[in-house]
Amino acid sequence: GSSCSPGQGQKRKQSCCLHKIHFILLFSRQGKLRLQKWYTTLPDKEKKKIIREIIQIILSRNQKTSSFVDWKDLKLVYKRYASLYFCCAIEDQDNELLTLEVVHRYVELLDRYFGNVCELDIIFNFEKAYFILDEFIIGGEVQETSKKTAVKAIEDSDMLQETVEEYMNKPAF
């Protein structure tokens, strides 16, 4: 151990730390939150504060910057798809590039389900967006990386839903 750099461990990858996604936020370019998923327990007030802060940080960044921002003890990994920003908060030592692909895979799953997914799909079918996310990620960890398997699970559950007739017979709003 004769090397003596003062910054030893400045950004040490500590293998003994948890690594998982802490939360995922989807928001529009106008700063409207479209989806929030928390994998750590926090009071509602704290969540609202975090959401405001993060949307502001990300929206103020230029286009050609990296997809990573240090935020408190965590790291934000984000990417924009059309009008929507997808942002994950991960541990400082977690794998940033793979998190970008978690986001991409989620977008692919949404796309497969909705067909050319757009922001409106997520607004009007927010519950579906949550279900799809749940099929893909549990407790902040990726559950199923195969697109086929995940999509099949979602489509199977749609099969379990009411028939159109049943639906039409329900009283409207």
Partner 1 sequence: MPAVSKGDGMRGLAVFISDIRNCKSKEAEIKRINKELANIRSKFKGDKALDGYSKKKYVCKLLFIFLLGHDIDFGHMEAVNLLSSNRYTEKQIGYLFISVLVNSNSELIRLINNAIKNDLASRNPTFMGLALHCIANVGSREMAEAFAGEIPKILVAGDTMDSVKQSAALCLLRLYRTSPDLVPMGDWTSRVVHLLNDQHLGVVTAATSLITTLAQKNPEEFKTSVSLAVSRLSRIVTSASTDLQDYTYYFVPAPWLSVKLLRLLQCYPPPEDPAVRGRLTECLETILNKAQEPPKSKKVQHSNAKNAVLFEAISLIIHHDSEPNLLVRACNQLGQFLQHRETNLRYLALESMCTLASSEFSHEAVKTHIETVINALKTERDVSVRQRAVDLLYAMCDRSNAQQIVAEMLNYLETADYSIREEIVLKVAILAEKYAVDYTWYVDTILNLIRIAGDYVSEEVWYRVIQIVINRDDVQGYAAKTVFEALQAPACHENLVKVGGYILGEFGNLIAGDPRSSPLIQFNLLHSKFHLCSVPTRALLLSTYIKFVNLFPEIKTTIQDVLRSDSQLKNADVELQQRAVEYLRLSTIASTDILATVLEEMPPFPERESSILAKLKKKKGPGTVTDLEEIKKERSSDMNGSAEPASVNASVVSTPSPSADLLGLGAAPVTNSAPPPSSSGSLLVDVFSDSASAVAPLAPGSDDNFARFVCKNNGVLFENQLLQIGLKSEFRQNLGRMFIFYGNKTSTQFLNFTPTVICSDDLQSSLNLQTKPVDPTVDGGAQVQQVVNIECVSDFMEAPILNIQFRYGGTFQNLSVKLPITLNKFFQPTEMSSQDFFQRWKQLSNPKQEVQNIFKAKHPMDAEITKAKIIGFGSALLEEVDPNPANFVGAGIIHTKTTQIGCLLRLEPNLQAQMYRLTLRTSKEAVSQRLCELLSEQF
The yes or no reply on residue 30 touching partner 1 (CB under 8 A) is no
* In the complex, minimum distance from the CB of residue 19 to partner 1, in angstroms, rounded to a whole number: 7
CA distances to 16, 167, 168 from 163, rounded to whole Å, are: 50, 6, 9
Site string (94-113) toward partner 1, x via CB under 8 A: -xxxx-xx--xx-------x
| 167 neighbors 173 (Cβ within 8 angstroms) | no
DSSP letter at 106 equals: H
CA distances to 49, 50, 65 from 17, rounded to whole Å, are: 25, 22, 28
What's the rounded Cα separation, in Å, for the pair 70 and 56?
A: 14
The yes or no reply on residue 124 touching partner 1 (CB under 8 A) is yes
* In the complex, minimum distance from the CB of residue 160 to partner 1, in angstroms, rounded to a whole number: 4
Nearer to partner 1, 29 or 48 (CB): 48
The yes or no reply on residue 83 touching partner 1 (CB under 8 A) is no
Nearer to partner 1, 46 or 139 (CB): 139
Exactly one of 30, 62, 116, 165 binds partner 1 (CB under 8 A); that residue is 62
